[in-house]
């Protein structure tokens, strides 16, 4: 079983709890996920199956979209509702007018430097920061650049502030909430978080965790699994015949003499598809060498079953779909 499906992660469980439950249902299938969600968070959790686990490096950098609720006036040690309260104030004493809130959140749009929270999985000398935090230790952390592509107020209902956030990989929404509260003067923590999209995967495609076993038993789960080739649909496609596909799978470079040469193809990353069936053979990079353009595999996949070994005569025709990137 190879591919990807999307789970609507429930609150109160970790991302790995979801994987653990799925392993009991999908016995013998290698399972991974994209983008950790904290236990309080709900929403899009892409699940990678079989050869799909190899796609993580190509998919995890995708843009994330969240709906977040901030609790103004209360600061916690974890920057979310699950932590110990460090400070609580009456928000009525602060300017929380729409004009003031818009002025403050404007400071968080674009590229910003973010200090990772102590309660995080980042490691210091091999030990996760959250373990240090639980012992009452705090260590120096380097600020990291993240990007907020969109940040809009959807509702102001003191002490709650509701936000729509579109951001890059590695953005701590808890820290965004904490820092916005600091700029408003009253402090804040993250009360609720729902991920609406992760890269190409959206909430509309998500399955409830408790429904998956039933779908499997009725034979309907397969129709909800996104094929590897479709999951990588944001990359241009190169179709190859069986002989070339086998060479690529063995890590060999193939010539692209059948392609119309364009200068922008040099350095381009593409998905390599089998001409019969359209299965994903590899993710590769196009390079220009003395002999012309070649395709060098970056990661190969056993998503296609071949019936013969490579013949002496190589395939010479390759079809490149003109598809734009993300």
HEC readout, the chain: CCEEEEEEECCCCCHHHHHHHHHHHCCCCCEEECCCCCCCCEEEEEEEEHHHHHHHHHHCCCCEEEEEEEEECEEECCCECCCCEEEECCHHHCCCCHHHHHHHHHHHCEEEEECCCCCCCCEECCEEHHHHHHCCCCCCCCCEEEEEEEEEEEEEECCEEEEEEEECCCCCHHHHHHHHHHHHCCCEEEEEEEEEEECCEEHHHEEEHHHHHHHHHCCCCHHHCECHHHHCCCCCEEEECHHHHHHHHCCCCEECCCCCCCHHHCCCEEEEEECCCCCEEEEEEEEEECCEEEEEEEEECCCCCCCCCCCCCCCCCCEEECCCCC
Q: What is the mean pLDDT of each run of 10 residues along the chain (326 residues)?
A: 94 94 92 93 96 93 95 96 95 96 97 88 76 78 93 97 96 96 98 96 94 91 92 90 89 73 65 87 87 87 60 38 38
Measured between alpha carbons, how far is 215 from 64 in angstroms, rounded to an integer?
Answer: 27
Question: What pLDDT score was predicted for residue 310?
Answer: 38
Shared fold status for 3-62+200-226 and 229-321? no
Q: Which of these CATH numbers, 3.40.50.720, 2.60.40.1190, 2.30.130.10, 3.40.50.300, describes 229-321?
A: 2.30.130.10
The pLDDT score that the predictor gives to residue 156 is 97
Residue of 141, 167, 142, 155 whose CA lies nearest to 191: 155
CATH architecture of 65-192: 2-Layer Sandwich (3.30)
Domain ranges of the chain: 3-62+200-226, 65-192, 229-321
User: For this structure, is 38 an active site residue?
Assistant: yes
Fold for 3-62+200-226, please state it: Pseudouridine synthase (3.30.2350)
Give CA–CA dist 4/52, Å, rounded: 6
pLDDT given at position 151: 98
Point out the catalytic residue in the list 8, 17, 38, 205. Answer: 38
């Amino acid at each position: 079983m190879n591919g990807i499906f999307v789970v609507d992660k429930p609150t109160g469980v970790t991302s790995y709890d979801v994987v653990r439950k799925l392993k009991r249902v999908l016995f013998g299938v290698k399972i991974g996920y994209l983008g950790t969600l904290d236990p309080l968070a709900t929403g899009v959790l892409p699940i990678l199956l079989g050869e799909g686990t190899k796609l993580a490096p190509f998919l995890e950098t995708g843009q994330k979209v969240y709906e977040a609720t901030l609790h103004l006036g209360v600061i916690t040690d974890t920057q979310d509702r699950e932590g110990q309260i460090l400070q609580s104030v009456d928000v009525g004493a602060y300017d929380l007018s729409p004009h003031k809130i818009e002025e403050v959140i404007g400071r968080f749009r674009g590229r910003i430097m973010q200090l990772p929270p102590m309660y995080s999985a980042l490691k210091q000398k091999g030990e996760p920061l959250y373990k240090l935090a639980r012992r009452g230790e705090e260590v120096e952390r380097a600020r990291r650049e993240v990007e907020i592509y969109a940040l809009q107020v959807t509702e102001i209902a003191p002490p709650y502030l509701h936000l729509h956030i579109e951001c890059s990989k590695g953005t701590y929404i808890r820290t965004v909430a904490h820092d916005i509260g600091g700029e408003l003067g009253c402090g804040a923590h993250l009360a609720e978080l729902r991920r609406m999209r992760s890269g190409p995967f959206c909430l509309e495609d998500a399955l409830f965790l408790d429904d998956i076993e039933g779908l499997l038993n009725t034979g309907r789960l397969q129709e909800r699994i996104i094929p590897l080739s479709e999951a990588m649909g944001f990359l241009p496609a190169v179709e190859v015949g069986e002989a070339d596909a086998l060479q690529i799978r063995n890590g060999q470079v193939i010539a692209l003499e059948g392609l119309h040469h364009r200068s922008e193809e040099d350095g381009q990353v593409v998905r390599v598809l089998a001409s019969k069936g359209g299965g994903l053979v590899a993710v590769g990079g196009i390079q220009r060498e003395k002999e012309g353009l070649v395709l060098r595999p970056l990661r190969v996949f056993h998503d296609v079953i071949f019936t013969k070994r490579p013949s002496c005569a190589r395939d010479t025709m390759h079809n490149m779909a003109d598809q734009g990137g993300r």
